[in-house]
């Protein structure tokens, strides 16, 4: 917020009061001037004169806003994404405090293309202990980060650094260590924090950090870290709930489900219900990486395992994620299961990831047929290159016709981005990262955005992104049959959600 203060009015008023009421009003006038100095600076204000005269430094990095923000929390306007102008303007003039001091200059450069915005803070007192606590505030929205001097020229402030900064005071750990060793716990707090970003202003008192659900969760998770964080120094530790994000990508990847009678639980990942088992076990190394991989290769897994609430001291192996170059398996050491009175509370675990050669990439040829055209052997109505459909779909690629080419059936889903025509798709290292700037609703619009004012043709190459499954593909038009109303593509698809790599 920027205050427009009439300095001459307040100063003249102060001297009149001094003349009439002497010492008492001199104090009052002084308080008024101090208030003006502290409150009218806006985002770029300075610390009070005389507050610090020692050496200063500058720090710079990247500010990343959450994907969705209710901008009513910023300026009484409608719900917006982080690239909307209302949010950009509010964040650009945010107040920032570093170690209790307002920088002499705050430069935030929002973008309408990416949520990652450069931020530079100048005139900050040099920390004698090599640590900087950053607090950013715009309206009722806030972000935090605790950084060390080694990162002062490349720091990050986002929802995850904020979650870690909230956990730090009550946990006995420093924020960078929480981010490194306890990503699952950071993820739990981050998900709740980002849900608070979507609340209406009327339901938030002075700041999102006063939200009762958030403060209670932070307290519980910080207590857990304080009590159990030292199980095995350097290990990844989590207190699992029903839904968990173990790798910090913002999506659920592990579920813990109680059985109907409430006395047992089962585990499954977003990729598979199959699990291997090592029992008894006390440390993660009791189940070697090679043995875990061998168990999956040889089929020593089951989908129906459940575990008693009094069970502990076992390690589960689970398929976690497929990747372009490497797959990941999950090794989960269960230390304690909390189901008091038949109500599931959580599971104390240590965990690690096991890497294996990647299996996410596949390639082939696909023929699509226009909706309503006579059937053609081997042709499909819609596809995402992992699954085919016999009817048109708004969220899959359909052959819309010779003018528009390929796109979702209702014309609203952004799913294709044009590449240079004629290239060999086997040489493409990665698909374009999805954004509403690059991706368009059909291949004609994608070509136009690339500067080609024409309809799709043989040899054209595109990136594709499918929002429901979050996976990418690269495809090339190799044949157009106007008589049969079909279009044939060569493609490479990466089945791993969120992974746009193809080499």
3-class DSSP state of 435:
coil
Contact present, 218 and 144 (Cβ < 8 Å): no
In angstroms, the CA 21 to CA 28 distance is 10
Contact present, 214 and 162 (Cβ < 8 Å): no
Between the CA atoms of 299, 304, 310 and 315, what dihedral angle is there, to the nearest 10 degrees? 20
The predicted structure's pLDDT at residue 403: 96
The residues facing 492 across adjacent strands are 363, 474
* Domain boundaries of the chain, sorted by first residue: 7-40, 56-228, 236-357, 361-494
Name which of 140, 149, 196, 205 is nearest 176 in CA terms. Answer: 149
3-class DSSP state of 123:
strand
Phi, psi torsion values for 237, nearest 5 degrees: -125, 145
The predicted structure's pLDDT at residue 202: 86
| Domain 56-228 grouped into CATH 3.40.50.2000 | no
Contact present, 5 and 40 (Cβ < 8 Å): yes
Written as tens digits, the pLDDT of the chain (503 aa) is: 333 332 222 223 333 333 333 333 333 333 333 333 333 333 334 444 445 678 999 999 999 977 788 777 875 444 444 445 667 788 888 899 999 999 999 999 988 777 889 999 999 999 999 999 999 998 888 999 999 999 999 999 999 999 999 999 999 899 998 998 888 889 889 989 988 988 888 888 889 999 999 999 999 899 888 887 555 555 688 889 899 988 878 788 999 999 888 889 999 999 999 999 999 999 999 999 999 999 999 999 999 999 998 888 999 999 999 998 899 999 999 999 999 888 898 899 999 999 999 999 999 999 999 999 999 999 999 999 999 999 999 999 999 999 999 999 999 999 999 999 999 999 999 999 998 889 999 999 999 999 999 999 999 999 999 999 999 999 999 999 999 999 999 999 999 998 999 98
pTM of the model: 0.68
Greatest extent of the chain over all pairs of C-alpha atoms, in Å: 99
For 178, counting Cβ atoms within 10 Å of its Cβ (0-12 exposed, 13-18 middle, 19+ buried), the class is buried
Contact present, 69 and 111 (Cβ < 8 Å): no
Q: How many other C-beta atoms are found inside a 10 Å radius of the C-beta of residue 468?
A: 11
């Amino acid at each position: 917020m920027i205050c427009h203060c009439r300095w001459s009015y307040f100063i003249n008023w102060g001297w009149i009061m001094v003349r009439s009421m002497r010492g008492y009003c001199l104090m009052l006038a002084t308080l008024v001037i101090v208030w003006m100095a502290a409150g009218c600076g806006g985002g770029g204000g300075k610390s009070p004169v005389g507050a610090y005269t020692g050496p200063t430094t500058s720090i710079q990095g990247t500010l990343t806003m959450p994907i969705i923000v209710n901008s009513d929390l910023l300026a009484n306007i409608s719900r917006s994404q982080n690239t909307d102008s209302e949010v950009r303007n509010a964040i650009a003039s945010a107040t920032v405090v570093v170690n209790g001091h307002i920088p002499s200059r705050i430069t935030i450069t929002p973008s309408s293309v990416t949520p990652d915005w450069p931020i530079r803070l100048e005139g900050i007192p040099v920390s004698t202990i090599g640590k900087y606590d950053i607090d950013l505030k715009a309206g009722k929205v806030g972000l935090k980060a605790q950084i060390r001097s080694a990162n002062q020229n490349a720091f990050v402030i986002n929802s995850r650094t904020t979650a870690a900064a909230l956990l730090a005071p009550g946990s006995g750990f420093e924020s960078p260590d929480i981010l490194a060793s306890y990503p699952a716990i950071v993820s739990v707090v981050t998900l709740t924090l980002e849900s608070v970003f979507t609340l209406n202003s009327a339901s938030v008192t002075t700041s999102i950090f006063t939200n009762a659900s958030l403060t209670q969760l932070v307290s519980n998770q910080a207590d857990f870290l304080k009590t159990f964080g030292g199980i095995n120094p350097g290990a990844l530790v989590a207190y699992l709930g029903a839904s968990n994000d173990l790798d910090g990508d913002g999506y659920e990847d592990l579920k813990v489900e109680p059985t109907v009678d409430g006395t047992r639980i089962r585990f499954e990942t977003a990729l598979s219900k199959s699990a291997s088992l090592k029992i008894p076990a006390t440390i993660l190394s009791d189940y070697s990486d090679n043995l875990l991989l061998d168990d999956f290769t040889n089929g020593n897994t089951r989908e129906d395992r459940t575990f008693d609430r009094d069970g502990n001291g076992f390690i589960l192996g689970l398929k976690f994620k497929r990747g372009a170059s490497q797959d990941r398996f999950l090794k989960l050491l269960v230390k304690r299961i909390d189901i008091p009175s038949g109500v599931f509370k959580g599971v104390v675990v240590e965990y690690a990831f096991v890497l294996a050669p990647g299996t996410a990439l596949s390639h082939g040829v696909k023929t699509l047929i226009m909706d309503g055209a006579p059937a053609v052997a081997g042709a499909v109505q819609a596809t995402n290159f992992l699954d085919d459909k016999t009817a048109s779909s708004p969220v899959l690629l359909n052959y819309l016709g010779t003018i528009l080419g390929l796109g979702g059936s209702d014309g609203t889903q952004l799913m294709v981005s044009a590449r240079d025509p004629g290239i060999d798709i086997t040489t493409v290292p990665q698909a374009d990262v999805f954004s509403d700037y690059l991706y368009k609703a059909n291949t004609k619009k994608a070509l136009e955005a690339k500067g080609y004012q024409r309809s799709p043709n043989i040899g054209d190459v595109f990136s594709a992104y499918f929002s429901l499954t979050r996976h990418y593909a690269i495809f090339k038009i190799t044949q157009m049959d106007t008589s049969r109303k079909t279009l044939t593509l060569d493609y490479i698809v990466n089945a791993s959600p969120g992974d746009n790599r193809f080499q």
